[in-house]
């Protein structure tokens, strides 16, 4: 064989390798201020390099103003871009301190100019904020701008808060090639199937109630809740109260109900369906983590290459994260676990 044909074979082999080359996205969500877990995720991605890292909301701990900045700084030594969005817990005071991080690889994707980023031939499209907010959070996700006036009035009038808003309708301007788009959102879309990734138990408080003083002496769980939240428990369709706490409240005849159902945003699901997006990275619901499903809500096992994948990497504060793989025309995921204490 001539030298020329050898060179041609080598060149075509390189071309084939380039075409089938993997792209890897490190995914960490819901760290809730756990610096130890954040450091260990950063160490993992230094040892096992990825092409991008997504910090998918709920990075902060309530009441700790530097917690978003401190969490993100753990990832500053990575050589890849680190994309950051707020979720359902970040306050504006916490999140705005990202500006103090003078590293080119740290990218704030709440900014409209950063809502769409290229990764090889794929578009990463970011949907920051949350439809449900904890009591100090400031990043509200709405369906569209028609809801803005009412939302601003309600939060300013009754809670004395001025929020930052994002809009699901913006996806229609951002998604241009649905087959090659991965939407990154803290909040998941609502699935209808019983085996989807966001089927989970959750707590509903059907009416407002006050904790009785006599019950504080009888239950450490109720006492802890009283000290943390105060004497009044507000009505809520999706309460932050844990399942253990709900069971304890029920023992003392308080109105806490436990349900099992799919959770997620129906308007986000509608937009995703209309746009024909088949790939998504989500978080938010801790107990539903470390799982993937397809557009129909059918479970997808780790490492299986598929054309449609919606992935929840799990709660980062418990050391759970993942890698979202982009293959040639298909995607897959792998769960990872790091030390978190």
| Closest to 197 in 3D by CA, of 336, 273, 293 | 293
Mode of pairing for the β-strands spanning 82-85 and 52-56: parallel
Alpha-helix residue ranges (DSSP H) falling in 84-147: 92-95
- What pLDDT was estimated at residue 2? 58
Q: Cα separation of 329 and 327, whole Å?
A: 6
Q: In this predicted structure, what is the pLDDT of residue 157?
A: 76
Both tokens assigned to 158: 């009754």
The radius of gyration of the chain's CA atoms, rounded to the nearest angstrom, is 22
User: Would the CA dihedral through 20, 109, 116, 105 be positive or negative?
Assistant: negative
pTM over 0.85: no
Q: 290 near 283, Cβ under 8 Å?
A: no
**Dist. CA 247–CA 218, nearest whole Å:** 14
Amino acid 240: pLDDT = 67
Q: What is the pLDDT of residue 17?
A: 46
Angle between helices 243-251 and 220-229 (to 10 degrees): 110
Q: Which residues, listed in sequence order, are joined to residue 24 by a DSSP beta bridge?
A: 325
Q: Encode pLDDT of 255-275 as tens digits.
A: 999 887 777 889 999 999 999
pLDDT tens-digit readout, 12-64: 555 454 455 689 999 999 999 999 999 999 999 999 999 999 999 999 887 78
Right CATH for 22-192+263-337 from 3.30.70.890, 3.60.21.10, 3.40.50.720, 3.60.20.10: 3.60.21.10
136 vs 154: CA distance, rounded Å: 15
Structural domain boundaries in the chain: 22-192+263-337, 201-260
Answer yes or no: are the C-beta atoms of 200 and 260 closer than 8 Å.
yes
With residues binned 3-state (H G I as helix, E B as strand, rest as coil), the percentages for the chain, rounded to 5, are 35, 25, 40
End-to-end CA distance of the chain: 60
Helix (H) or strand (E) holding 157: helix 148-158
Residue whose entry in the numeric block shows the structure tokens 């509200």: 140
Residue 282 sits at the vertex; the CA angle it makes with 278 and 288, to the nearest 5 degrees, is 110
Give me the half-sphere count of Cα atoms (radius 13 Å) on the Cβ side of residue 192: 5
Residue 32, C-beta contacts closer than 8 angstroms, at least 6 positions apart: 58, 59, 60, 61, 89, 315, 316, 317
For position 311, what pLDDT does the model report?
96
d(CA 92, CA 47): 33
Segment 56-105, tens digit of pLDDT: 999 988 778 899 999 999 999 999 999 999 999 999 999 999 999 988 99
């Amino acid at each position: 064989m001539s030298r020329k044909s050898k060179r041609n074979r080598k060149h075509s082999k390189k071309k084939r390798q380039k075409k089938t080359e993997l792209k890897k996205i490190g995914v960490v969500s819901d760290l809730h201020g756990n610096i130890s877990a954040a450091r260990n995720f950063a160490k993992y991605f230094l040892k096992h390099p990825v092409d991008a890292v997504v910090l998918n909301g709920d990075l902060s701990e309530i009441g700790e103003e530097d917690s978003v900045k401190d969490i993100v700084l753990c990832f500053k030594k990575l050589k890849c871009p680190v994309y950051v969005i707020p979720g359902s817990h970040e306050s504006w005071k916490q999140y705005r301190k990202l500006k103090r991080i003078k590293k080119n690889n740290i990218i704030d994707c709440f900014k409209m100019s950063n809502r769409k980023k290229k990764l090889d031939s794929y578009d990463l499209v970011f949907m920051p904020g949350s439809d449900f907010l904890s009591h100090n959070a400031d990043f509200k996700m709405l369906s569209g701008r028609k809801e803005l006036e009412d939302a601003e009035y309600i939060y300013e009038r009754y809670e004395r808060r001025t929020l930052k808003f994002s809009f699901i309708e913006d996806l229609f301007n951002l998604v241009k090639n649905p087959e090659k788009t991965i939407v990154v959102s803290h909040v998941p879309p609502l699935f209808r199937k019983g085996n989807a990734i966001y089927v989970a138990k959750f707590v509903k408080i059907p009416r407002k109630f006050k904790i009785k003083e006599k019950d504080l002496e009888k239950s450490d769980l109720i006492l802890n809740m009283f000290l943390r939240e105060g004497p009044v428990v507000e009505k809520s369709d999706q309460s932050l109260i844990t399942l253990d706490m709900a069971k304890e409240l029920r023992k003392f005849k308080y109105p806490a109900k436990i349900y099992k159902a799919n959770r997620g945003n129906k308007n986000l699901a509608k937009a995703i369906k209309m746009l024909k997006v088949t790939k998504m990275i989500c978080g938010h619901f801790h107990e539903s983590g470390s799982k993937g499903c397809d557009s129909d809500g059918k479970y997808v096992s780790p490492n299986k290459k598929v054309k449609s994948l919606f992935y929840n990497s799990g709660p980062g504060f418990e050391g759970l994260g993942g890698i979202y793989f982009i293959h040639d025309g298909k995607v897959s995921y792998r769960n990872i676990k790091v030390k978190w204490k």
